[in-house]
Structure 1
Amino acid sequence: MLDKKTGRKPTLTIKDVAAEAHVSVGTVSAVLNARTNVAQATRDHVEAVMERLGYEPKSAARALRRNFVSSIGLIVPDLNNSFFSQVAQGVQRGIADHDILMTLCLSWAQSKREEYFAQLLRSQRLDGVIYLSGTGLPSASLVELTKTRSVVFVDEVLPGIDCPSVLSDNRRGAREVMRCVLEAGHSAIAVIEGPPRLWTSDQRLSGFREALYSGDKDPDQLDFVTGDYSEKSGYQAATALFAGDRDSWPTAVVCANDQMAIGVINFCREASISVPHSVSVTGFDDITEARLMHPALTTVAQPGFEMGRSAAHLLLHSIGVRTTAPDATHFDTSVRVRKSVAAAMR
């Protein structure tokens, strides 16, 4: 219906919504501000009326009237790994339609920094925290944080802490990428595993070993080197793996993440070791650089953006901002076969 004076649709107010829904203005306000003292049936009814009327609340104005903006914390190891960047972008997209401010904390996978941020965020006026651990250590401050704030983990499970998690099938992905190497005829295989204590490291290592067993290979007869998920640790591991006689070199190096695989490829380039003709290399995560490498890296893709968005929706649901939980909190992984794997030459 058009306004007779302006010829435009009149601006709807919260009073119009209340009158149409046959509820009080206070009830509509409670629905808009995601308060928990409104019955679900009433909330659904008011939201349906707002949608039918085309009522669009001015979120920023509401936030100013409340004198605060809801806020969450996001703890990630770093942003050099583009998987973490994808998760952060997904979180931001997941909160974009709400009055939410995100505080980003970089732990650099250091236990002291994780402890510090858990303690700091516990003292702040936050509604919840999304947490990506780089250490796998359940610090005392983190335990206390989970008692006072809603916490959601992404791609990690910490022992002794009962919090919802958004995960991908790391084990299956590792199993499938190892099978890809085995199907190429490789038997002299080295594995660069991730840091101890991390759930992702354990899951990926288990997947590698399962594929080896099913391929009639004894994992205990292969070289396993521990890395820390950094490019530097991959480079250092390659230095050790290719230090002896050429006959003792692996024909394939399976890495627990892409950054370590990039370190291996960089070492091989400097040492004039051809990838994939002399040695095949695989990674895990499918970060942006994986497909830009020369050769492009065969790896396992996990949907970082979707996982981050799901974590945001899960957190918003737990703090009462969203009325429904996300459709998925467990995501599939898939192998991206590129140019870094070739048939074994020996």
Structure 2
Amino acid sequence: MKDVAERAEVSLSTVSYVLNDSGPVAADRRARVLEAVRALGYTPNESARNLKRRSVATIGLVIPDLVNQYFAMIAEGVEQAAAEKDVLVVFCTPEATGDGESWNSRLLRSQRLDGLIYLSGANTRMESLVELTQVGPVVLVDEKLPGFSLPCVVSHNRRGAREIAAHLTSLGHERLAILSGPQELWTAEQRLSGYREAIAAAGLDPDAVPLFIGDYQMASGERLAETALSCSAEERPTALICANDQMAIGALSYCRRAGLRVPEDVSVVGFDDLPIASLLTPRLTTVRQPARELGMEAVKLLLGLVDGAEPVSPPPAPVTLKIRESTGPISAG
């Protein structure tokens, strides 16, 4: 800034007024400052500027991986909302390091972050999360964790699960099978509860519906679909309720391999509405979660906490049932 001031023949305060648009500057002086900035290739140090004005400079995002399209969409929302506030995001993916979240917590602490957004996974290590809460304010996104009264941003998993299971029963499906997510995750528990509520509302016994526990990964969906469907046509489930789109994609892969027609022989549903869901053959019936909006809301909540706001979680975001060609009436075959 001193070099800019000298070249433009103005004071440091004038340079600051121009760069921060924080005070009146005569047109000729503003033009000289901007010309000096261009000539010198000056770029303001955002960290220093933010420290001086005591506003947020950098936040962290801990995310299981960026291969899962749903996680990536949440990350896009975080990045978009942070960019609008001139905030830098440090991404940490536990699976990318052999030491996992312990390494990430050390990294985040060393960066002197203003706060963290935490997207948990099936392999979340609670001791690492405790370390992360010591860095600064922490906001959970898409999950709630037992034993932690942390503010969180989630969608209406239970309601979405009820709606998609009710869709199947309305088509006449009674022989159902549930391919669930990891039992220790809040989202999986909420979705399983919603499925069972809709099944009971249809006059069926939810305890009699076969339950297979997966890990939200495509491979587990394929493996569990093979287990669920490897029986006689008279006993085979006519519909698979998959806990997320990744598992549903795996289930569709098995059905193709086994020569089962979807939805004529078996209907398949997912949850999340990944971008690929509407591009599959057949297109996948699923529940749309506002992934990018969840990421953006998490940033808003976190920045409020940094400014001293009360840690109050917003209400669950609405979800939308998307009916496509992977489901059909029981009489279709």
TM-score higher than 0.5 here? yes
Counterpart-to-counterpart distance in 1, 2:128 and 2:16? 47
| CA displacement at 1:277 relative to structure 2 | 0.4
Structure 1 pair 61–192 and aligned structure 2 pair: CA distance change class (3 A): same
- What letter is aligned with 1:63? E
TM-score of the aligned structures, taking structure 2 as reference length: 0.81
Q: Does 1:13 align with 2:17?
A: yes
Decide which of 279, 284, 300 is 1:297's aligned counterpart.
Answer: 284
Q: What are the residue-to-residue correspondences of 1:146-295 with 2, within 5 Å?
A: 146-295=133-282
| CA displacement at 1:273 relative to structure 2 | 0.3
Counterpart-to-counterpart distance in 2, 1:101 and 1:265? 39
Aligned length: 298
Counterpart-to-counterpart distance in 2, 1:212 and 1:177? 10
Report the equivalent of 1:28.
Answer: none
Report the equivalent of 1:41.
Answer: none
Structure 1 pair 65–117 and aligned structure 2 pair: CA distance change class (3 A): closer
Q: SS at the partner of 1:176?
A: helix
Contact 1:89 1:308 in 2 (8 A): yes
Counterpart-to-counterpart distance in 1, 2:229 and 2:148? 41
Report the equivalent of 1:131.
Answer: 118
TM-score of the aligned structures, taking structure 1 as reference length: 0.78
Instruction: Map Cα deviations across residues 135-155 of structure 1 (whole Å, 9 max, x no partner).
Output: 274512311321331111001
Decide which of 63, 77, 82 is 2:46's aligned counterpart.
Answer: 63
Q: Does 1:337 align with 2:323?
A: yes
Counterpart-to-counterpart distance in 2, 1:110 and 1:243? 38
Structure 1 pair 236–171 and aligned structure 2 pair: CA distance change class (3 A): same
| CA displacement at 1:116 relative to structure 2 | 3.4
Counterpart-to-counterpart distance in 1, 2:259 and 2:274? 25
Instruction: Map Cα deviations across residues 310-334 of structure 1 (whole Å, 9 max, x no partner).
Output: 111111121129x899995530011
Identity between Structure 1 and Structure 2 (%): 42
Q: What are the residue-to-residue correspondences of 1:62-141 with 2, within 5 Å?
A: 63=46, 65-66=48-49, 70-108=57-95, 113-135=100-122, 137=124, 139-141=126-128
- What letter is aligned with 1:87? I
Q: SS at the partner of 1:171?
A: helix
Counterpart-to-counterpart distance in 2, 1:173 and 1:333? 6
Question: Structure 1: which 5+ runs fail to align?
Answer: 1-9, 21-59
RMSD of aligned residue pairs (Cα, Å): 3.1
- What letter is aligned with 2:131? E
Counterpart-to-counterpart distance in 2, 1:268 and 1:207? 25
Report the equivalent of 1:27.
Answer: none
